[in-house]
Amino acid sequence: MKDKFISLIKTSKKISVITGAGISAESGVPTFRGENGLWRSYRPEDLATPEAFTRDPKLVWEWYNWRRELISNCTPNSAHLFISYLESLIPEFLLITQNVDGLHKRGGSRNIIEIHGSIWDIKCSKCLYLSENRDLPIIYPPLCPQCQNILRPGVVWFGESLDYRKLEESVNFIATSDLLIVIGTSGIVQPVASLPFQGKQINKKLKIIEINPTSTPITNISDLFIKEPSAKFLSDLKIFS
């Protein structure tokens, strides 16, 4: 397994990586659909929506304050570190993460698209104001310095569209890569879930490696499926040593 993984990497000049919540699980950040996914018995799908924020912004901010506090106590794991190490080895490299926790950047990744935004950003619910904010906690209600309307987390919620430029850049990079590595995503949150399929459709030579303890729709089109927790598999894995 490790041999095939290493050989696919060694024969690639251009690599894309897609990550989801699972890569941060071993850092202690709960996934949405795994154990500890619930907060005060609410499902994330019922809190991470524009409708939930309109209905009860205080409740949504309490949940985000809880998540920000939790994430601030977590550190990047071997899988985050492996990805930034890989970036330093490969001439053309792009990381597309669905995660909002900022652990990839803390782990040293630079060429990165945070396609669902960042939990460390806040933005206005009415105007275009957006700013980094690391306060713990955010005092309710946070108000926009430009228009005085309520500020919201700088993330993309269920039902909201992604920045199409980021999506287009991701598709183009993946479709011209030799290898795509998909780590820790359930492969059901669109449109990111479609990226591996689009990549393979455009470029038949694209190889796909998936790392996830559970199979997903992406497993069907993977050339190598590593059915393991990502930090465990990637710990101490040196490609060129």
What residues make contact with ligand NAD under the rule CB under 6 A?
A: 20-26, 29, 31-34, 98-101, 116, 183-186, 189, 211-214, 216, 229-230
Residue 39's identity, in one-letter code, is W
Task: List, in order, residues 6 or more apart from 227 with CB less than 8 Å away.
Answer: 212, 213, 214, 215
CA angle centred on 161, ends 164 and 110, rounded to 5°: 55
Which member of 67, 80, 105, 116 is catalytic?
A: 116
Rounded Cα–Cα distance for residues 213 and 1 (Å): 14
* Minimum distance from residue 216 beta carbon to ligand NAD (Å): 5
Nearer to ligand NAD, 32 or 42 (CB): 32
25 binds, among Zn ion, ligand NAD, none (CB under 5 to 8 A by kind): ligand NAD
Q: Verify binding: residue 144, Zn ion, rule CB under 5 A.
A: yes
* Minimum distance from residue 181 beta carbon to ligand NAD (Å): 12
Distances (CA, A) of 54 to 57, 70, 126, 154, 178: 6, 24, 12, 15, 44
CB 86, CB 9: distance < 8 Å: yes
| Token couple for 145 | 């310095």
1 binds, among Zn ion, ligand NAD, none (CB under 5 to 8 A by kind): none
* Minimum distance from residue 185 beta carbon to ligand NAD (Å): 4
Nearer to Zn ion, 147 or 188 (CB): 147
Q: What are the catalytic residues?
A: 116
